[in-house]
Amino acid sequence: MSDASPETWNLTIQTPIGPQTSVATLIKQGSILTGHIAGRMGGEDITQGKIDGDRLRWVNDVQKPAKIKLTFEVQVVGDQLSGKVKMGMFGSFNVNGQRA
Q: What is the DSSP letter of 67?
A: -
The residue among 38 and 4 whose pLDDT is bigger is 38
On average, the pLDDT of the chain sits at: 93
pLDDT mean over 10-30: 95
Q: How far apart are CA 26 and CA 9, in angstroms?
A: 8
Q: What is the pLDDT of residues 64-93, one digit of tens each?
A: 778 899 999 999 999 999 999 999 899 999
Where do the domains of the chain lie, and which CATH numbers do they carry? 7-99 (2.40.128.120)
Q: Nearest Cα to 93, choosing from 22, 34, 32? A: 22
pLDDT mean over 88-100: 95
Contacts of 92 (CB under 8 A, 6+ apart): 84, 85, 86
